Amino acid sequence: MTPVARNRVIGLAFALAIFIIDQAVKLWVRNGLHLNEIRLYELLPFFDLRWTENYGVSLGMLTATSVEMRWILVAMTSAIALFVFVWMLRERKLIDIAALALVLGGALGNIRDRYLYGYVVDYADLHFGEFRPFLIFNIADAAITIGVLIILARSLLSREKPDPAREPDIVPES
């Protein structure tokens, strides 16, 4: 197996692991803790588990107020996940593939929730008093956010050095 193929297999396995972990925690929150019934489980002075049904996408935008809108969101987010999957298969470096795998695994976890329940299960509530630096989120949301931040950082901060062996010789003018 070539190094690039190995990186892609690792990326797909990583995306699958993110998806499985996200779904396992959501199952535990729902059926183990019964958070959907008790609504709030205080863990630390700055972190709670709080049951939230998110009918929108990022930052609560595009809220699904009807069955039709729910399926439009499933289709839209599935198309984005497909785009990320194809992009991931085109990348060569493990760091880029891993970042896209975070986004893909998280997206698949949230798509599955929306497909099954009509909403995404959110439960992680980081707060400092009444100040919440983030909305209530889940592992899938965190994976997507971290993956996007890595992609942005790599695109803004890393520059590919030109390979002198691939550049044509430039003959100076006399």
Q: What is the DSSP letter of 59?
A: G
122 is catalytic: yes
The single residue of 22, 96, 113, 122 carrying the catalytic annotation is: 122
Asked if 104 and 22 count as a contact pair (C-beta separation under 8 A), the reply is: no
Q: Could you tell me which residues are beta bridge partners of residue 4?
A: none
Asked if 106 and 77 count as a contact pair (C-beta separation under 8 A), the reply is: no
In 3D space, the residue among 168, 144, 167, 148 whose CA is nearest the CA of residue 156 turns out to be: 148
Residue 13 to residue 79: CA distance in whole angstroms: 20
Which residues contact residue 97 at a Cβ distance below 8 angstroms, ignoring those fewer than 6 apart? 7, 8, 10, 11, 88, 91
169 is catalytic: no
Q: Classify burial at 36, counting beta carbons within 10 Å of its beta carbon; exposed 0-12, middle 13-18, buried 19 or more.
A: middle
The single residue of 96, 113, 125, 141 carrying the catalytic annotation is: 141
The residues annotated as belonging to the active site are 122, 141
